A = this chain, B = another copy of it.
Amino acid sequence: MADVSNGPLRVAVAGASGYAGGEVLRLLLGHPAYRSGRLEIGALTAGSNAGTTLGELQPHLLPLADRVLGPTTVEELAGHDVVFLGLPHGQSAAIAKALPESTIIIDCGADFRLTDSAAWEKYYGSPHAGSWPYGLPELPGGRERLRGATRIAVPGCYPTVSSLALAPAIAAGIIEPRVNVVAVSGTSGAGRKLDVGLLGSEVMGSVRAYGIAGAHRHTPEIAQNLKAASGSETDVTVSFTPVLAPLPRGILATCTASTNVDAAQARAVYEKAYADEPFVHLLPEGVLPQTGSVLGSNAVTLQVTVDTDAGLLVVIGAIDNLTKGTAGAAVQSMNLALGIDETAGLSTVGVAP
């Protein structure tokens, strides 16, 4: 744990001009440690946007509008207790190596999520940098791995909701290890990327799938999480279809797998699994998750039932991809790493309508 006896905790954000970095800052500005002066927002860095004020890039962060972004270098990031990384793939390892072991580094990117080098190389086409404690406390054993950790890999947004939607069932052995996930996402999941297909004119009024049939990089991450949750050596087969819809934030995942149990039995498994979780909410029977209800919140809302005719467990899950799906998980992980209240600075209240 970071030593905070000598003054406030200093936190840096690399990639402060992107959506992940912006959301980390939004959450930090509302964090009780920041409000009480025990946490300071230090260096904010960017790539091509270095030299610009944050106000030009993230005009919603009014209290930091005058801050000028520095370049993303080890020099800028040195001297902080916590460093959040919101960088393109492949840049985290070098920075992590250059910073002290005691610095808490929380990587919102993919570089250290996968444990299997072969899976990494197949999906990312580059050498595997290794793996770090995985920032999803609600998975079996997840919380323990994060307490006091100084290197943390924040999960991908799709794996967060998909894994939480299916882990209890696979851990309880009530589904076969072949799952199907179709997840509808808002556009911010693609990042602040100049891509014709992400222009407002193209996105509004249209829905499209992409990265189908196992092509999306989040597929092996879901499989890894579910295999770990199963407590078995058997691989879990994941069919994953991401779908882009016209909204900025939110993921709604529809997850199915063959089951022999009935709806009440399935529900009991989920009630037990998440009874004490502050952020995972199993909704009352018949109430279905909607992404609008978790906008800006760190909550995961779930509904579980069984399609008797089809013999399938059906779990629907909703998150905000930028909050619980990225920056909320990052802050939650920071809290655990620091040994402070896990929920500090995180809310289960959404901004709606």
Contact = CB atoms under 8 A, between A and B. Distances in A.
Number of copies: 4
A55 B284 contact: yes
B204 A247 contact: yes
Interface in A245-260: 245-250, 252, 254, 256
Interface string A290-306: 11111111010101011
A303 B284 CA distance: 37
Secondary structure class of chain A's binding surface, majority of residues: mixed
Interface residues of A, number: 92
A62 interface: yes
A306 to B, nearest CB: 7
B200 A199 contact: yes
A305 B209 CA distance: 13
Given A213-B307, A238-B310, A239-B314, A202 B351 contact: no
27 contacts: A26-B349, A59-B350, A60-B350, A60-B352, A61-B349, A62-B348, A178-B310, A187-B199, A187-B200, A200-B202, A201-B248, A204-B247, A204-B248, A206-B247, A206-B290, A206-B295, A207-B247, A207-B290, A208-B252, A209-B289, A212-B307, A213-B263, A213-B305, A238-B310, A239-B307, A246-B246, A249-B353
